[in-house]
Amino acid sequence: MSSLSSLRCALSPTLDQRDAVLLADALGDDETLGCPPAAAVETSEGRWQVEATFAVPPNWELLAAIAQETLGRPLAFRIEDLPDRDWVAESLKGLDPVRAGRFFVHGSHDRENVPPGAIAIEIEAGRAFGTGHHGTTKGCLSAIDNLLKKRRFSAPLDLGTGSGVLAIALAKALKVAVLASDIDPLAVEIARANAAANGVGTLIDTVTAAGLAHRRFAGGRRHDLIVANILARPLAELAGEIAARLKPGGVVVVSGLLVAQEAFVAAAYRNRGLALKARHRRGEWSTLVFSR
């Protein structure tokens, strides 16, 4: 067992996608565990496990209790230490480009294959979430494309920007300034670099912020389009703040949730006076569109 102050490990056994996401969400929210960073990671076709980082080796009984409460069945956990490698970058090498409406997300190796009339977004595999391949990112891009066919937006916000792919899509399609925030300073750095590489660095203002807690959100600044591709629980918790920052007639696009979590998230936004206008489903993942 690692003696380092931080233990990065995979929690076995393997699960299906839905259960892995639910368990990772539960672990990351549990204060008794110290709210460890946790994520669901696909290990093979259709099989997933949860990766987490603990300050000290976790309490096995507590892990079992959380699994029982979350999934309704016991799990026999064991820890597998993970080497310090960039698993995201390795898993994304050689991925095919993604088409979502007019948007075409690709790596540098597919730069010459951009279809005529497409809005090209070049994102290399990296450590920040959001290359366009995940169902949540595809869902957001499709939702944005559908919205832009009907109206223009002048003050968009990308909350939880990750690699910056959605902010870049908005900046390229609208040719307006986009505010992009993320809780992870590394993601903000990567988003800024990606924006510059895609020729929209001057249009995208990147800030490091937890939710809407930043001076850039102070002073009553409001947005006519807010896109938030994060996780179901923080989406629900931020519903009030997001609604407060939305202009009259504005639109909210949220993702990072499973189809099974739609009702939970939708209720949070309905309670804030927003109406569900559309949903985009990609496998087990869902993207919801609300308006005031």
Give CA–CA dist 11/62, Å, rounded.
13
Q: What is the DSSP letter of 57?
A: P
Give CA–CA dist 161/227, Å, rounded.
9
Would you give the distance in Å from CA 143 to the centre of its chain? 15
Q: What is the mean pLDDT of residues 157-178?
A: 95
Which pLDDT tens digit goes with each residue over 80-120?
Answer: 666 555 544 444 444 578 888 899 998 887 888 899 999 99
pLDDT band of 35, cuts 50, 70, 90: confident
Q: What is the mean pLDDT of residues 260-266?
A: 93
Q: What is the mean pLDDT of residues 142-150?
A: 95
Crossing angle (nearest 10°) for helices 165-174 and 135-148: 20
Task: Please tell me which residue, 72 or 156, carries the higher pLDDT value.
Answer: 156
Tokens found for residue 151:
């109206």
| In the predicted structure, residue 76 carries a pLDDT above the cut 80 | no
Residues 6+ apart with CB under 8 A from 43: 14, 49
Instruction: Please say whether the beta carbons of 154 and 175 come within 8 A.
Output: no
Q: What is the mean pLDDT of residues 234-239?
A: 93
Q: Where on the phi/psi map is residue 175: left (φ > 0), alpha (ψ -120 to 50), or beta?
A: left
Q: Where on the phi/psi map is residue 164: left (φ > 0), alpha (ψ -120 to 50), or beta?
A: left
| In the predicted structure, residue 279 carries a pLDDT above the cut 90 | yes
| In the predicted structure, residue 13 carries a pLDDT above the cut 80 | no
Give CA–CA dist 39/22, Å, rounded.
10
Q: What is the mean pLDDT of residues 147-169?
A: 94
What is the per-residue pLDDT for 127?
Answer: 42
Q: What is the mean pLDDT of residues 278-290?
A: 91
Q: What is the mean pLDDT of residues 28-51?
A: 74
Give CA–CA dist 187/259, Å, rounded.
26
β-pairing verdict for 285-291 and 246-258: antiparallel
Give CA–CA dist 239/75, Å, rounded.
33
Least Cα distance to 200 among 102, 122, 132 occurs for 122
Give CA–CA dist 256/284, Å, rounded.
11
| In the predicted structure, residue 129 carries a pLDDT above the cut 70 | no
| In the predicted structure, residue 128 carries a pLDDT above the cut 50 | no
Q: Which amino acid belongs to residue 144? A: I
On whether the pTM is more than 0.85, the answer is no
Task: Please tell me which residue, 200 or 128, carries the higher pLDDT value.
Answer: 200
Sketch out the chain's domains with CATH numbers. 7-84 (3.30.70), 129-291 (3.40.50.150)
User: In whole numbers, what is the pLDDT of the chain averaged over residues?
Assistant: 83
